[in-house]
Amino acid sequence: MKFDQIIAERKNKTIYRDGDRCIKMFNKDYSKADILNEALNNARVEEIGIRIPAVLEVTMIDGQWAIAFEYIEGKTFADLMEENPADKNKYLEMMVDIQMDIHEKRCPLLTNHRDKMTHKIALTEFDHMTKYELRAHLDGMPRHNKVCHGDLHPSDIIVMPDGKYCILDWAHVTKGNASADVARTYLVFLLNNRKEEGEYYLKTFCKKADTPRQYVERWLQIVAASQSLKAKDNEGEMEYLSKIVNVVQF
């Protein structure tokens, strides 16, 4: 394996290209269970009829876990939006269609979104009362079992040479409520200072899915609480998330 061509570097993982393979290498302190689970989730989603990069190998390189995926040629929606600012909304609309197609899929053995959120809420640093409210709020939300990507962004959708789309990064896939999945995507737009795109995205989803905006917004507290686990070192983001989280159910 060659590791000279870095595609992306994250806090705790690095992604390399190796010919027609793409290697996701995890830092040593990364949870082994999470890595194996990501490979397993990916394998499950490969079976339900969505074009995604196939897992080719899970291996250990120099004491670090790595997953080898199939390398996908093409530009992401994020690239295309950058290159053609005038078409931004068109790509956002297409992204909503793709996301709604994913929501139509079923994959019974995926982790339940509710269980994942319950676990995440327990891990947060909010006070006892806030966690109580969040749990109560989560328990009151409608229970669905749609496939939810869990972290979909324009950079996760590649337009392949044949014009078809390939969807990347299935580490966070669960089954659950589509509005929760959309709330997560919307939140990341907001956190990345892309409010305008986020608004257009949310508006488009609500229109196409005939869903009141408030149904999506009700999930913001939950997904914000979950996101707070990743924002521990980012004071500004933490404060922003806390504001969203601090609502109460009566």
For other proteins, the binding residues (CB under 8 A) are: 128-129, 132, 135-140, 212-218, 220-221, 244, 246-250
Q: Which is nearer to other proteins, 27 or 142 (CB)?
A: 142
d(CA 87, CA 95): 12
- The gap from C-alpha 87 to its chain's centroid, in whole angstroms, comes to 23
Distance CA 122, CA 137 (A): 14
DSSP 8-state assignment for residue 85: G
AA identity, residue 105: K
Smallest distance from other proteins to CB 132, Å? 5
When the beta carbons of 46 and 217 are compared against other proteins, the nearer one is 217
Question: How far is the C-alpha of 79 from the C-alpha of 92, rounded, in Å?
Answer: 13
Least distance in Å: CB of 182 to other proteins?
12
Instruction: Return the number of the residue (52 or 220) whose C-beta is nearest other proteins.
Output: 220
Q: Which is nearer to other proteins, 208 or 212 (CB)?
A: 212
Question: What is the rounded CA–CA span in Å between residue 182 and residue 13?
Answer: 25
Give the C-alpha separation, 35 to 136, whole Å. 31
**What's the closest the beta carbon of residue 12 comes to other proteins, in angstroms?**
30
Nearest approach, Cβ of residue 174 and other proteins (Å): 19
How many of the other CB atoms lie within 10 Å of CB of 156? 21
Is 193 or 214 the residue whose CB approaches other proteins more closely?
214
Q: Give which of 74, 62, 54 is closest to 25, Cα–Cα.
A: 62
Shortest spacing between CB 236 and other proteins, in angstroms: 19
